[in-house]
Structure 1
Amino acid sequence: MKRIFSLFLFCFFAVTAFAQEGQRAANVVVSTVKEKKIVETENKIGLVKYDTTTELSSEVSGLVEDTTFTEGEVVNKGDVLVRLNTDFLDKDIGMKKKEIEVLEMRIENVYRDLQRYEKLYKQNAASEKQYEDLLFEYKRMKKEKQAQELALQRLMLKKERSVIKAPYDGIILSKKVADGAWVAPGSTVCSIASTDDVIVQVPVNEKYVKFFKEGSEIFVNFTALDKNVTGTAAGLDPVADPKTKNVYLKINIPYFTKLPVNMTANVNLPVSEPQKLRIVSRDAVISNNGQNFVYTIKDGIAKILPINIVSYLGEMVGTDSKHIVPGMKVIVEGNSRLRPDQPVKVTGEK
């Protein structure tokens, strides 16, 4: 029995040794660890908000003839969103123009009479009252024309306001009117939010506010969308939560499609003063069972090392692990299928 067991062990170690000797070297790309003075960060949960929103309403009354937008649609400044029917308004404008034309003819006729009476008055062939009555009528009619022209401008402005346009580049949050509906002045037709003012709002303990510097870059991850963006610290909400004493931090982020209000975002916020950390490419980090590792190379063999990440810096991470030192080479490509102690061949460096 002992001979059989000894033979089994011999065969096992022989096969293992043969497998290791025959293992092909994996092609990998490496990058160099650097050291930089940065801050420690912690992951906090924030919500997507639009800092500029508008309840867009009608300035005039009318029947909705056409709506050209849908909820969730991205629109540009000046895009037509709603058209109101202007059939009656067009008739009123036409009538007003005709009234002004008739008034102009009457003014011209009075003006000729006024010129004729002025000559007669200077020749003492007409009374002063006749001349002054004509002069008064001419001035009155000129004023009447001005009033009619203002009335026409008002009608034209009303027609212009019958077309409701987007006030800025934005996204339609809600649609509150449909074709055929009657709207009155002040009636809301839609809710629109500016795509230039997208923020992530993060509630944090007030003790962290001193580490939040306006203008600094903040790494933001959207797990649901599998997307990373770099935001900019934009300041604080002026009102803190009276119960929790949490302060709401605002981080500006670039707009991208499928970004709904109140979607959660993972935000790496600074929680310390600057400290010296080793900087490693995020591509070098491998996660397994909640632990993070990197591969380095020693004598042509891949060596796996645990790494403690204390700060996320976009495409890089900061670590305080003592065994990760400046100048060390870590594998950034080809590491996903590596196994510890596997031979490797470096084909390039980032």
Structure 2
Amino acid sequence: MLRPSLLILAMCLSLAACSKGGKDGKPSDKSASANTERPLQVTAEDYVTIQNNALASGPVITGSVQPERKADLRAEVSAIVLQVLKENGEAVRKGDLLARLDDTSFRDQLASSEQAARAAQQTLDQAERQLERLKTLRASGMTSMQALEDAEIRRNNAQSELVAAKARQVAARQQLQRTEIRAPFDGIVSERKVSNGDTAQIGKEIMKVIDPASLRFQGLVSAEAVTAVKAGQSVSFRINGYEQQFIGKVRRVDPAANATTRQVEVLVDFTGKDQPRVSGLYAEGRIEAGSTEALTIISSALIRDGDKSFVWAIQGGLLKRVPVVLGERDVRRGDYAVTAGLKSGDKVIRQPISTFKDGTKVDLVASAGTAAAPSVTEPSVASASASSTGK
């Protein structure tokens, strides 16, 4: 079933076709003149009035989205990779086993150190018993002072050896634990660097783990604009791969500029509910350091022609193609500042179409919700748009 607007359009086109010609099928001069003089009906929903608005201004910031909590997990021992338990993108909990290295030699070292610690403990126990016997004999005058001192020295040496053996045991156990790569916090595996059978040298990167809930915008601003940036200022920016605009707040401005680019890093926290879940994406926006009053126009009313821009304005009851000069874009709403071509109070078609002609007569009518059905002899912006779409 046709919608009412399309049905009315079809009736308009049918009547127009019937009135184009006489009996011989040729268009008459009277009908052609009527067609050229029919005005375009425009409602309040079809145009926007140009007026002064607050235009957010501030320095441009570019950078990328990076996590605050991230860990590059590296091998602390040299061993063969036996098993990799997590893949890229998998969620992990703190303490989860991510990868396992060959621990054969480290288990042998731990067993050896444990045996050495037990032997050192037995030696100490024997030295202490010997010392106690000599103390008893010395009290009854049955042994020399030199023998007692020698027993004390052996006891002290046994104590030192036991301490060293226990230290070697602890080191061996730590080495064994380092063959298991575990997650340092709750997060996601962002990059896997090894596979089963690889040789992991000390310092070799095994995996990267990030916390997606800690993402922030790490951007750079030019040195000339850094004096206008302060902690707490709002930032509007877009991220590659996302349609919506993100809102943040400046947390910190680095006190030192980059030695190569001479730009200053600015750290921005997300303040909105929507946050990206992917790190490393490029982002660009503007820090709202201030606002100015300027004529603004919505982006949908603009038509681009190369480097030039123009709009369809209603002037003196006629539709006029007016070139405009644009200024900065508002970072919050996406509107553009108009520096030339329009003045306050001008009416501009909200969503122009390709079939508009310069000089077409325009009638401003009541809103579509309160007006009666349009006359079959007078086209409207809505019907013109539907006709253009149908083509």
By the TM > 0.5 criterion, same fold?
Answer: yes
Q: 1:344 is matched with which residue: 357, 367, 386?
A: 367
Question: Taking structure 1 as reference, are residues 164 and 343 closer, same or farther at Cα in structure 2, changes over 3 Å only?
Answer: farther
Structure of higher RCO (CA pairs closer than 8 Å, 6+ residues apart): 1
The aligned counterpart of 1:256 is 276
1:71-220 correspondence to structure 2 within 5 Å: 71=88, 80-165=97-182, 175-190=192-207, 196=214, 198-202=216-220, 204=222, 206-220=223-237
SS in 2 for 1:310: strand
Count, aligned residues: 315
The aligned counterpart of 1:239 is 258
Using the alignment, how far apart are the partners of 2:32 and 2:52 within structure 1?
48
- Residues 66 and 279 of structure 2 are in contact (CA less than 8 Å); yes or no, is this contact kept in structure 1? no
User: How many Å apart are 1:68 and its aligned residue?
Assistant: 3.7
Q: 2:303 is matched with which residue: 278, 289, 298?
A: 289
What's the TM-score, normalizing by structure 1? 0.64
User: Per residue, is there more strand in 1 or in 2?
Assistant: 1
- Residues 66 and 216 of structure 2 are in contact (CA less than 8 Å); yes or no, is this contact kept in structure 1? yes
Counterpart AA for 1:256: P
The aligned counterpart of 2:245 is 228
Question: Taking structure 1 as reference, are residues 343 and 200 closer, same or farther at Cα in structure 2, changes over 3 Å only?
Answer: farther
C-alpha distance after superposition, 1:74-114 (max 9, x if no partner): 76766544322223322322332233223323322332232
User: How many Å apart are 1:122 and its aligned residue?
Assistant: 0.8
SS in 2 for 1:60: coil
What's the TM-score, normalizing by structure 2? 0.59
The aligned counterpart of 1:300 is none
User: How many Å apart are 1:151 and its aligned residue?
Assistant: 0.3
Using the alignment, how far apart are the partners of 2:144 and 2:164 within structure 1?
31
C-alpha distance after superposition, 1:225-245 (max 9, x if no partner): 32422244554662355xxxx
Counterpart AA for 1:312: D
SS in 1 for 2:106: helix
The aligned counterpart of 2:12 is none
Using the alignment, how far apart are the partners of 2:186 and 2:365 within structure 1?
54
Question: Taking structure 1 as reference, are residues 7 and 133 closer, same or farther at Cα in structure 2, changes over 3 Å only?
Answer: closer
1:267 aligns with 2:285: yes
Task: Kindly name which structure, 1 or 2, has the bigger radius of gyration based on alpha carbons.
Answer: 2
User: How many Å apart are 1:201 and its aligned residue?
Assistant: 4.2
Identity %: 15
User: How many Å apart are 1:150 and its aligned residue?
Assistant: 0.4
Using the alignment, how far apart are the partners of 1:54 and 1:346 within structure 2?
59
C-alpha distance after superposition, 1:120-172 (max 9, x if no partner): 21111222233222222222111111000000111112123223345677776
Using the alignment, how far apart are the partners of 1:292 and 1:222 within structure 2?
29
SS in 1 for 2:194: coil
Question: Taking structure 1 as reference, are residues 97 and 311 closer, same or farther at Cα in structure 2, changes over 3 Å only?
Answer: same
Question: Taking structure 1 as reference, are residues 287 and 6 closer, same or farther at Cα in structure 2, changes over 3 Å only?
Answer: closer
SS in 2 for 1:314: coil
Using the alignment, how far apart are the partners of 1:279 and 1:182 within structure 2?
62
The aligned counterpart of 2:377 is none
Structure 2: runs of 5 or more not aligned: 1-21, 314-321, 357-361, 371-391
The Cα RMSD (Å) is 5.2
User: How many Å apart are 1:251 and its aligned residue?
Assistant: 4.3
